[in-house]
Amino acid sequence: MKVALITGGSKGIGFGIAEALLKDGYKVAITSRTIASANQAAADLVAFGDVLAIEANVADFNSQQEAINLIIEKWGQLDVLIANAGVGHFAPVDELSVDLWKETIDTNLTGVFYSIKASVDEIKKSKGHIFTISSLAGTNFFAGGSAYNASKFGLTGFTQSVMLDLRKYGVKVSTIMPGSVASHFNNHQPDGETDAWKIQPEDMGKLIVDLLAMPARTLPSKVEIRPTTPKG
């Protein structure tokens, strides 16, 4: 049975991917900055399969390494990394605080590097698959998005480079660039009715399951996904 780690699996996109991978037969570890949130999500997911809740902060390399160590101790392998954890802070550059800039880059960009750095040896052993969750904001810039755009433009470039580094080991690396997804992103409270036009977390889960089912010879390196009928 294959093993997946989803950083930031306590809610939103990560939670949707966790549910889809469990239903597809994976053992799934999810991380959150707090063990309470990770445990709550794991309790909601356990009906679908074998799930492990871990407290880990992607912005702390040692914390990421400990998460990988826990997974290897428990399950002995790691086949899929979904580097999903991310934050969104939006303000014009003259109003953007140094702290929010730092948190955005440390989480969305450096946090993905730490997640891959801590797991790459295990993923090479399993000839596994790494996904990063970038954004359409990783290719389209907008006012008020300086920190987020910088983090996601950086992540898109970083992931493409890592893809070229690791393909020779039989490791696939893909970056997913979603448009609007119904999640808790930027303190949003998802609402079934008003968010119905958005991509849903379970759609992201289906996408990952479908991409993992591609033949070994074929590498989906960069995938854009967007609502069919956007609002506003």
Least distance from C-beta 217 to ligand NAP, angstroms?
A: 28
Tell me the pairing of strands 51-55 and 80-83.
Answer: unpaired
Complex with ligand NAP: residue 134 or 212, whichever CB lies closer: 134
Give 84's Cβ-side CA count (13 Å radius). 29
Complex with ligand NAP: residue 170 or 230, whichever CB lies closer: 230
Least distance from C-beta 2 to ligand NAP, angstroms?
A: 22
Distance from the Cα of residue 75 to its chain's centroid: 21
Q: Which two structure tokens, joined as six digits, stand for 191?
A: 């609402």
Least distance from C-beta 215 to ligand NAP, angstroms?
A: 27
Complex with ligand NAP: residue 178 or 205, whichever CB lies closer: 178
CB 95 within 8 A of CB 143: no
Question: Comparing C-alpha atoms, which of 67, 97, 92 is closest to residue 7?
Answer: 67
Which residues make up the interface to ligand NAP (CB under 6 A)?
7-14, 31-34, 37, 57-59, 84-88, 107-108, 111, 133, 135, 178, 180-181, 183-185
Q: Which two structure tokens, joined as six digits, stand for 138?
A: 């990783």
Least distance from C-beta 7 to ligand NAP, angstroms?
A: 6
Between CA 144 and CA 130 the distance in angstroms is 30
Complex with ligand NAP: residue 189 or 218, whichever CB lies closer: 189
CB 195 within 8 A of CB 26: no
Annotation says 148 is catalytic: yes
Residues classed as catalytic: 148
